[in-house]
Structure 1
Amino acid sequence: MLKRPKVVAFDIIGTVFSMEPMRPALVALGLPPLALDFLYTAGLRDTFALAATNTFAPFQSVLSGCLDEALAMHGLDVSPERKRAVLEMMKTLPPHADAKAAFQVLADAGIRIFALSNGAASTTRGLLAAAGMDGLVEQVLSVEDVKLSKPRAEVYLYAVQAARVAPGEMALIATHPWDLHGAKAAGLMAGYVARGLPYARALRAPDLTGKTLLDVASEVVRI
């Protein structure tokens, strides 16, 4: 039987904040609409390669290389300034419509809230502050503190240590099955924000699934 977690850690990029505003910006560079999906998955590809070999690079620098790759694939020559402007959009991503409500449901239930991102802590703090959600978050944690990226177990256990709880007393809420797989492997509870997509069968199954952030947060409170 599931026990209600004392702490919920949220993945940030994609889960709480949407990358969709970057899609038209990439199209304006001459790339196809699916370039956003390539950029993110290629960024994860390289981040995972680094993590698997015990090395690390900031996610922003990884994405920069992947953007160069995408542009080269389409034979596009874009100025450094225009490329930098697109990547800087990562610092101003909008929250999903139900993000603040999801955080509030947990806070009202006395559940502590952490942010756990593959991005920089400063970027996450800026996003949360702009969305008026920073007051609901106890701590902002970044893989840059560990010098390894998710889904390495060290990242999730770092969050557990920062919260001063046991792994089973923390849940990760994310829209990325690979992230939840990593959390489960490290002993955490996992809540999947499906948004219409199936969960990867080959990965460790989540404990909770909902269509939206608010659905999953509400399920956590109902435990």
Structure 2
Amino acid sequence: MRRPAAAVFDVIETLFPLEPLRPRLAALGLPDALDLWFTRILRDAFALDASGTFKPFREIAGGALEVLAAQRSLAPDPGAVAAVLDGFMTLDPHPEAAPAFERLRAAGVAVATLSNGGVEATRGLLERCGLLPLVTRVMGVDEVRRYKPAREVYLHAARTLGQDPGRVAMVAVHAWDLEGARRAGLSTAWASRLERRHHPAMAPPDVSAPDLLGLAEALAGLA
């Protein structure tokens, strides 16, 4: 594997952990539901995508939350649901995110983001925490109306960056995200801190490290 021309970072959980949303869910009566809720958001996005339907991330997330609440015999009002969803825009990045971006840029590797959320929401999140000036391009699924891990999303990222897919590395904590990227011809970099073990049914990553700075060092160190 050569040093990539660009490193494209997943956003939610890769750059921004979801733990700060837990108190908001607790206020809704769902103190232990964070992992299940996010898993259902992804499941529902994948199902809609597979059926040829695109819905914005916030709509899917809100619907998944309403269903989960109903299954727990809860009936939150729309304002309470919105308060949880608004929490996505208050997330803080992992502390090594900025140093990882800076390390890659110093090695001549462009830094971009590719989220299953919308472009403007992601841009606002990056701007709020000071990461936006380090990012060459903010990309989201609303630009192609498909969800990762659909092949088209990763090819869109490569085209937008003006690179062949093989010159782009996808950086993520989710094995499923990297599986989609690999099938589109991108190289893959996996941070192990979330899943701990890369899914054995999926192709192993080209590069792995416990965190983002470790991945940046590994990618920047390639010839």
TM-score range, shorter chain: over 0.9
Structure 1 residues 12-48: Cα deviation after superposition (integer angstroms, max 9, x where no partner): 0110011111011101211132x11111100000111
**Uncovered stretches (5+) of structure 2, i.e. residues with no partner:** none
**How far did residue 54 of structure 1 move?**
2.1
2:110 alignment partner in structure 1? 112
Q: What is the aligned-residue identity percentage?
A: 42
TM-score by length of 1: 0.97
Q: CA RMSD in A?
A: 0.9
The residue that corresponds to 2:131 in the other structure is 133
Counterparts of 1:179 and 1:102 in 2: how far apart (Å)? 20
Distance, in Å, in 2 between the alignment partners of 1:132 and 1:111 is 19
**2:9 is matched with which residue?**
10
Q: Deviations over 1:58-101 (max 9, x none)?
A: 11110001000110111112121111011011112110111111
Q: Trace 1:1-223 onto structure 2 (pairs within 5 A).
A: 2-33=1-32, 35-195=33-193, 197-223=196-222
Answer yes or no: is the 8 Å Cα contact 2:178–2:188 preserved in 1: yes
Tell me the distance in 1 between the aligned counterparts of 2:57 and 2:202. Answer: 23
How many residues are aligned here? 221
- Per-residue CA deviations over 1:75-133 (Å, capped at 9, x if unaligned) read 11212111101101111211011111111110111110111000011111111111111
Q: Is the 8 A contact 2:192 2:208 kept in 1?
A: yes
Once the 2 structures are TM-superposed, how far is the Cα of residue 140 of structure 1 from its aligned partner? 0.6
Instruction: Report the secondary structure of 1:25's partner residue.
Output: helix
TM-score by length of 2: 0.97
Q: Give the whole-Å Cα distance in 2 for the aligned partners of 1:162 and 1:77.
A: 43
Deviation >2 Å, runs of 4+: none
